[in-house]
Amino acid sequence: MIRHLVHAIAGFVFLAVAAIGGLFWFTFRIYVPPDQCAVLIRKSGAPLPAGQLVAISPDQRGIQTAVLGPGRYFYNPVTWHYEVRPQTVIPAGNPRTWEWVHTLDEAQRDALHAGTFCFKGEFPQVGVVTRRVGKPAEPGEVVVSRASGKSGILAEVLTPGVYKLNPYVYDVSLHPAVVIPAGFVGVVTNLFGDAGPAIAAAETPAAATEAHVRPLAEPGQRGTLRDVLQPGVYFVNPRLQKVTLVEVGFNEYTQTRISEKDNRQISFPSDTGYLIRVGVTVIWGIQPGHAAEIINEFGNVDGVLDKVIDPQLRSICRNIGSTYAARDFIQGEKRELFQHALTAELRRVCGSKNVDVLLALVREIEVHAPSGGEEGQAVTEDLKRTIQQSYIAIESQLTKEKQRAAATVRAQLEEERKKVDIARETIQADSRILVANIVADGEKTAAEIAAQANLEVAQIQRDVAEFAAQRVELLGKAHADVERMKNEADAQGYEMLVAAFGSAHAYNLYTFAENFKPESINLIFAGEGTFWTNLSQFQELGAAKMLQNAAQSEPQP
C-alpha cells in the first residue's frame, strides 16, 4: 500500500514539474532567429521623464536601450514584451565584380566633374548612424561623437559587417564607401570644424586675385586638407567629409572648331595685318602633391581649364603670335619656333598654379586676309600660292643639289667599290702565297722533327743495349759472387764443425754415425759367433768411442 502511494506521489511530482517546465518553456522563452535581434519593452517600472523615448536604466518602463542577439532567452511575460527586428547589415561588396578604370573617356570625365561618376561593381558601403536619443547637441554642432552620448549624427561610421542596433535608438543610412582607383587621388574636404585662419585683406587689386584663396586646412579644421587619399577603399563619413576624385597624370585639352558661329579656335592678327586662327592641343597634368591646392583654389578640375589653361593659352598665343608675319605661320621653321615659344611660356605660367604642361601642340593654322569677302579670299590664296611657289623653287633647288650630291656619292661609291675589289684580289694573292709558305715551313719542320725523333730513338735503343749488357754482366758477377760466398760459407761451416769435434777424423765418424741406418743393412747369418751377435751394438759402441776420443784429445787448461 505504501509502495503504491509513493509511486503515485512521484508520478504526480513528475507531472507537476513537467507541466511547470512546459509552461515556463512556452511562456517565458524568447527565441531570436539568426540575423534578427529582439527589442525589449518593459511593461512595468518607473515612468520615463518627459521627452525621453527610450529607458536609460533597466528599472524604467518602456523601450530598453539594449537588444538581444540571436538565441534563446527567458523573460517574465508579465513584466516584459519584445519585438523582433532585423539586424543592421553593412554590405562588404564583391571584389570580383570591381571594374577599375585607368583612363576615362570624355563622358566618364564629364560625369566625374559633375560628381555623378561611379565605378562599376559591388563596392563596400558604410553606415551613417544617427542617434535619436540622448542629450541634445550644442548649437551649431551637427556631428557628435559616439562617446558623447548626445543625439545627432555620429562621426563614426559602421564598416561592413552585421550589427545588432536598436532601431528605436539608432537610425542607419547606407552610403557607398570612397573608392579611389589607380591613377586617381582623393582630396578630402572637412565640412565641419574650426574655421581656421581668416583671409587677410588684399592691399592691392593685383594681390586680391590671390588673396581670396583660403589656405589649406589642418586636421580638425573646416576646409580642404593637404594630405590626399592614395588609391584604395576608405570608410569615410559623407556627412563629415567630402572626397573629390582627381585624375593625376597627363590629360588632353583641345581647342576645337564646332561651327562658324561657335568657334573655339584662337584668333589674333599678325604683324602684317592678317588674321591668324590656330587650333592648339595642350597636354597637361596634375601631380598628386598639388591636387589639394588645385581643388582648394579652383573647386574642381574644370576650374583649371576654365580659369588657367584656356585664358592663358589665348593670351599667350595673341602675345607671341602678333610678333610673327603671316608667311611665318605657313613656313615650317617659324611655325615650329612659335610652338616652342608657346609651350615654354604656357608651362611657366601654369607651373605657378601647380599645373604641369608637357606640350602645347599647334595642330592647324588658318591665315585670312584683313579684308573679308572674295577679294580677301583671293589675297589669301595669292599669299599662299606665292609662298608655295617660293617653297617649290627652294625645294627644287634643294632637290637638284641633293641629286648632284647623290651622283657624286655614287661615283665615289663606285670608285671605292673598285678599290675594294683590287684590295680583295691583292689580299687573296698574298693569302695564297702565305698559305704556301706556311705549308712548306710546316712540311720542313715535320721532316726535321721526324729525323730528330729517329735519331733519338736510335740513341735510346743504344742506351737500352748498353744497359742490357751491363745487366748481364752485373747478374753474372752477382751469381758468381753468390756461389763463391755460398761455398765459402759451407767451407767455414765444415771448418767450424771440424773444430767443434776436435779433429777431422771425429767429424767423419760423426758424419758416418749420423748417416748410418742399421735397418737398411742386410745381414747374412752364418752361425754363432761373437762378431755377428754383437754387430747390432756396433752403432752405440762407435758413438761412445768417438766421444771418448774427443774428450781425450781436448786440450787441458
Q: Which of 368, 387, 410 is the last residue of a domain?
A: 368
Statement to judge: residues 168 and 231 lie in one domain: yes
Statement to judge: residues 256 and 292 lie in one domain: yes
Helices (H), 31-105: none
Statement to judge: residues 334 and 350 lie in one domain: yes
Statement to judge: residues 237 and 261 lie in one domain: no
Please give the Cα distance from 123 to 93 (Å, whole number).
Answer: 4
Compute CA distances 413 → 405, 416, 418, 421, 422, whole Å.
12, 5, 9, 12, 14
Domain contains 152:
yes
Angle (nearest 5°) at CA 283 between 231 and 316? 135
Identify the three-state secondary structure at position 499: helix
Q: How many CB atoms lie within 10 A of CB 90?
A: 19
Statement to judge: residues 101 and 224 lie in one domain: yes
Domain contains 108:
yes
Q: Which of 86, 113, 136 is the last residue of a domain?
A: 86
Statement to judge: residues 145 and 173 lie in one domain: yes
Statement to judge: residues 239 and 119 lie in one domain: yes
Q: Minimal CA–CA distance to 546: which of 489, 497, 507?
A: 507
Q: Minimal CA–CA distance to 89: which of 176, 179, 159?
A: 159
Domain contains 438:
no
Name every residue whose Cβ is closer than 8 Å to that of residue 335 and which is 6 or more positions away in sequence: 328, 329, 362, 365
Q: Which of 47, 63, 86 is the last residue of a domain?
A: 86
Compute CA distances 40 → 26, 34, 76, 199, 368, whole Å.
18, 17, 11, 54, 85
Contact 187, 228 (CB under 8 A): yes
Statement to judge: residues 117 and 227 lie in one domain: yes
Domain contains 442:
no
The ranges of the chain with pLDDT < 50 are: 200-209, 211, 257-262, 532, 556-557
| pLDDT score at 382 | 60
Statement to judge: residues 65 and 112 lie in one domain: no
Please give the Cα distance from 539 to 544 (Å, whole number).
Answer: 9
| pLDDT score at 487 | 87
Domain contains 58:
yes
For residue 512, the number of C-alpha atoms closer than 13 Å in the C-beta half-sphere is 12
Please give the Cα distance from 255 to 366 (Å, whole number).
Answer: 14
Give me Rg for the CA atoms of the chain. 64
| pLDDT score at 481 | 86
Statement to judge: residues 526 and 547 lie in one domain: yes
Please state the pTM of the whole predicted model: 0.57
Torsion, Cα 511 512 517 518, to 10 degrees, reads -150
Statement to judge: residues 233 and 283 lie in one domain: no
pLDDT tens readout for residues 114-144: 656 667 778 899 999 998 888 888 887 888 8
Domain contains 48:
yes
| Alpha carbon 492 to chain centroid, angstroms | 101
Domain contains 388:
no
Domain that residue 33 falls in:
2-86
176-203 in b/e form (b: 16+ CB < 10 A) is ebbbbbeebbbbbbbebbeebeeeeeee
| pLDDT score at 203 | 45
Statement to judge: residues 70 and 178 lie in one domain: no
Domain contains 461:
no
| pLDDT score at 550 | 55
Name every residue whose Cβ is closer than 8 Å to that of residue 239 and which is 6 or more positions away in sequence: 128, 142, 143, 153, 191
Q: How many CB atoms lie within 10 A of CB 363?
A: 12
Compute CA distances 174 → 52, 67, 91, 205, 366, whole Å.
27, 21, 9, 47, 56
Q: 149 — alpha (psi -120 to 50), left (phi > 0) or beta?
A: left
Please give the Cα distance from 209 to 554 (Å, whole number).
Answer: 157
The total of structural domains in the chain comes to 4
pLDDT tens readout for residues 435-493: 989 989 888 899 889 888 888 888 998 888 888 888 888 888 888 888 888 888 888 88
* CATH number, residue 299: 3.30.479.30
